[in-house]
Structure 1
Amino acid sequence: MLDTIVRLEAERAGPLWEKALTDVVSVVVADESSGFSKIREEMTERIRRFVGLTAHQEPVDIHLSEATREHLRETLRLFVATQPGRHAVPFNRLSTGTLNLLVFALLTYIAELKGESSVIFAMEEPGIALPPHAQRRLVDFVTRRMGQAIVTSHSPYVIDKFDPAQIVVLGRDEDGTLSSSPVVLPQGFKAKRFSTNRRQFAEAVLARAVLVVEGSTEADLVPVIADVLEQDPSVVDYVHPDLAGVSVFNAGGDHAVPAFAPLFKSLDKRVYGIHDTPTKPLSEDVVAKADDFALYRVIDYKRVEDLLVAEVPAEVQRRFLSVAGERSDYPVQCGWLRQDMDDAEVAQLVRSVLMKHKGSGYAALLVSQCTNRRELPASIVEFLLEVNADLYPPTGVVQDSPATGDGEVSGEPE
């Protein structure tokens, strides 16, 4: 790339390689401050014994000579000093992510020399080894400056920078056949709803399946419950959602859960939905959207906190209160666990603590105290096991709409 840049610049600024060769030849190697100086003097004295030398001040000297353009190409190295260090190092000693950005930077230089509007920029997995902020900056630069860009990525931070109309979801079936699905927002799906869920959406389009839940508390609970199920030897053939490729999507409310079913089903993904009993009944059009769920469950509780208090055993609740009481953010106004409390009093205290710190991870902390399936909230466990059975049906059972393989996204700005 550096050679290409030099060649393109030479077309505008003149012979760069020739000037570099002249400068290299004129470099003084054996000056007075160099150890080569003593070597040169000793060599001159010994050679003079057998060879007639001229009266030149330095008849024997050391030079960088016979250098060619190919020598420069082979030895030319880019040195880069990055923060927070002070010293420049050869480019090949930089980290993998910095190297990726360095290559990208040189490519943009070439693109500018060629004329940005005429460049088609194709990038495969630009997010590898890069932090989120670097991924966003890279994509922003390409989409704003280049004539056209084609990107394949598994990074939600990259996908997040593209609008739905610019995204195509790629997948393969069991026979290896490649398929693609454009992202088309269903009729009546508000653009604002998409924009407020861009990051979640970006992760969901990469998933094999999507589990839509009501809120952040439920989104925190699912992976913790899955962790316990995975570690319980009595639960046979259970696959953790992370391994199964299931993305948990926070809809932001019970009435919003069914709205996402048509969207994810249109991307050829298995989509599941679960939420508590709404205070206000769902409208007919919302209920109709729920038909696109492969599995849909309305649990028989008004709040997830009520479910946890009712279905998590008292001994687990006591362990939770002991652990929670040691946290700096424990709501002291709710009171503390006492040894003389009966189970009903413990349940009331747990509910008070969960409600006081709703959405702050306390519900997940409660469930993390469970050690096996028996101690987990049965309503959620049963649903997760049904989802698992739907994703991994017994041999010979065919799903109505097979889940796609690992998702990859191709983005192309208009």
Structure 2
Amino acid sequence: MRLTRLKIVNYARLHDLDIEVRKHLVIVGANDVGKTSLLRMLNLTLGATLGQLYQSLSRADLRDQDQPLTVEAVLADFSDTEGALFHREIDIDADSGAGSLTVRLDVQPDADDLEAVVIHRVLTGTADRRAPTRQQLEAFGWRYLPATRGTSGAQLGGPNSALQLMFDSLDMGAERAVLTGILSDFNDKLHVSESLTELRRKIAGHLAKAMPRPVTANDLAVRTAADPGASMLEGVSMFLQRDDQYVPIAEQSDGLRQLMALTLFDLAENAANIIAVDEPELHLHPASQRTIAELFAAAENQKIVCTHSPYVLQRFEPAQVLVVAPGGDVHQVPDDSLGAVEKLRAQWWSPRLLEALTARYVIAVEGVADRIIVEAAARALGIGLDRLGVVVFELDGADKFRHVYKMLGENGFGVHVLGLVDKAEEGIFLGAIGGRLKDLIGAKVWPSDSDLEDEYCKALTGPGAGRILIDAGVCRLEGLLQACGASSEDELTSEAVAAYCRRNKTDAAIAVANAMSQEQAEAIGSVAGILTRAKELAGG
């Protein structure tokens, strides 16, 4: 059984959505846009008891508090056992013959209590729309690992840990009797030990003074935590060998504990149908993030993953990604655009581009030098790009914009993209976005006249830009004068210095960036314009 469609209406944290779930689902976006809230509604719909629903939901979850909040989760691909358990509730499509099961959660405002809600969860495939039984709820096979899971040792070796779950599910066969006998013999030896018997006498003597009834050494026992007759593996842990010593897995580093906890959780819940994990990248090195993502993506059961990590995202297919935008709107690549996006996957499905999917807004620039100038201007203007969730993405050439926009833009993942481009190349950006020229220039595309080197050299003046290059060690005065055809520093023109900067783009950009003032940043028209627009969009 797996999730194939999800519909949410009138939820306070998200816009209404109706999405297809294609094998796995990877939810990405900036901070505080509603990614975990989407997981929360799925967890309540498929995993919570009725009591937990009433504890977790209130009128505050209703965007319009006079209307119900509705969640519909559609499940399909049933095993024979699942088909028998839900035989009354499964709908059969008249054309394809495919079966589906819809779980509907309704949170209604209580007409008699302005602060209360009335909650119903039903399986819609029957006329009486019955609530799922406990057995049916368990058969959904939903498991959820929240971001608040932490990395404590209890996650690995506690009584409710994945490791203990695997121990409890083991069929020991004939070994059970042997190990039970060994454990019983060990407890017998502990009981007759002279040293431990003396210790029990001392403890009993002290307890007798404080307790209302007599206590003797025979009333106390020193035994293993595991009961030989019940669970002989209770309290057993797993160790890693290091330098000829065995170290408990619960005492490893935070990163290693997190990696092992996720791996063991996935292994222990192998029988589950749908496993949801919020931020699997917590405490993990990028290489470990990729490893975990590969395990998740290759699994037979379905994964619902919420992440900020481009390394996790990279291991899943574009069709499986859902982007949550600022304001709670969601985007996934439409069916008719999947083919075009898949063709770009080999070159562009990389952490560098995928970081843009976790941003609120993207400023696309032609190259490294342009990114350096834009980021420096933002600092000079007091615009915190990271705080606003703005990523400056370098294309490595204006001609690449059409490919990037096909993936990120309106017909891709719906990311809000702003473009900074040389005047001569603006047609590439305008053609990729589409629309009327007057609606795009100064709103989505900012051409530099004629290019960014020209603009920042005009803002700095020829002598000013030349002095910055000389002081930064990019060139010597004699060499710059010769390259610009000038006899003195005062005769340097902005056009001539700009031509020199084009031949040394990155070094010149670094020098200018380090010296840029607020007034100079404001004078670079295209850069100041695109940064101001990004700030307005982000509400900063």
Regarding TM over 0.5, the answer is yes
What residue is the counterpart of 1:166 in the other structure?
320
Task: Give yes or no for contact 2:281–2:307 (8 Å, CA) kept in 1.
Answer: yes
Task: Give yes or no for contact 2:323–2:330 (8 Å, CA) kept in 1.
Answer: yes
* More divergent stretch after superposition (152-161 vs 186-195): 186-195
Residue identity in the other structure for 2:534: V
- Match of 2:170, SS state, is helix
Q: How does 1:181-192 map to 2 (within 5 A)?
A: 181-184=331-334, 186=337, 189=340, 191-192=342-343
| CA RMSD of superposed structures (Å) | 4.6
Q: Does 1:299 align with 2:448?
A: yes
* CA distances 1:71-115 after superposition (whole Å, capped 9, x unpaired): 987754443357xx7754443433322221111222244246x5x
Aligned in 2, Cα 1:300/1:79: closer, same or farther, shift over 3 Å? same
**How far off its partner does 1:19 sit?**
5.7
What residue is the counterpart of 2:397 in the other structure?
253
- Match of 1:154, SS state, is coil
Which of 265, 268, 278 is the equivalent residue of 2:410? 265
**How far off its partner does 1:363 sit?**
0.9
Task: Give yes or no for contact 1:80–1:90 (8 Å, CA) kept in 2.
Answer: yes
Aligned in 2, Cα 1:131/1:147: closer, same or farther, shift over 3 Å? same
**How far off its partner does 1:334 sit?**
9.2
Higher relative contact order (CA 8 A, sep 6+): 1
Aligned in 2, Cα 1:270/1:283: closer, same or farther, shift over 3 Å? closer
Q: Does 1:3 align with 2:155?
A: no
Q: How does 1:226-241 map to 2 (within 5 A)?
A: 226-230=378-382, 239-241=383-385
Partners of 2:338 and 2:223 lie apart in 1 by 73
Which of 95, 108, 116 is the equivalent residue of 2:253? 95
Partners of 1:27 and 1:316 lie apart in 2 by 87
Return the TM-score normalized by structure 2: 0.53
Aligned in 2, Cα 1:278/1:138: closer, same or farther, shift over 3 Å? same
* CA distances 1:30-55 after superposition (whole Å, capped 9, x unpaired): 99xxxx979979x9xxxxxxxxxxxx
Partners of 1:366 and 1:311 lie apart in 2 by 11
**Where in structure 1 are there 5+ consecutive unaligned residues?**
44-62, 231-238, 394-414
* CA distances 1:135-171 after superposition (whole Å, capped 9, x unpaired): 1111112222333222111111111222211111134
More strand by share: 2
**How far off its partner does 1:248 sit?**
1.9
Q: How does 1:8-407 map to 2 (within 5 A)?
A: 8-11=169-172, 14-15=175-176, 18=180, 21-22=183-184, 24-25=186-187, 64-65=222-223, 67-69=225-227, 75-80=235-240, 88-111=246-269, 114=271, 119-171=273-325, 173=327, 178-184=328-334, 186=337, 189=340, 191-198=342-349, 199-230=351-382, 239-257=383-401, 260-261=404-405, 263-266=408-411, 267-278=413-424, 282=428, 285-286=431-432, 288=434, 294-301=443-450, 303-313=451-461, 314-315=463-464, 317-323=466-472, 325=473, 335=479, 341-345=488-492, 351=498, 354-359=501-506, 362-374=508-520, 378-379=524-525, 380-392=527-539
Task: Give yes or no for contact 2:398–2:425 (8 Å, CA) kept in 1.
Answer: no
Number of corresponding residues: 347
> Percent identity at matched positions?
21
Partners of 1:362 and 1:91 lie apart in 2 by 52
Partners of 2:245 and 2:523 lie apart in 1 by 57
Residue identity in the other structure for 2:265: L
**How far off its partner does 1:384 sit?**
1.6
- Match of 1:121, SS state, is strand
* More divergent stretch after superposition (145-154 vs 180-189): 180-189
Task: Give yes or no for contact 1:194–1:201 (8 Å, CA) kept in 2.
Answer: no
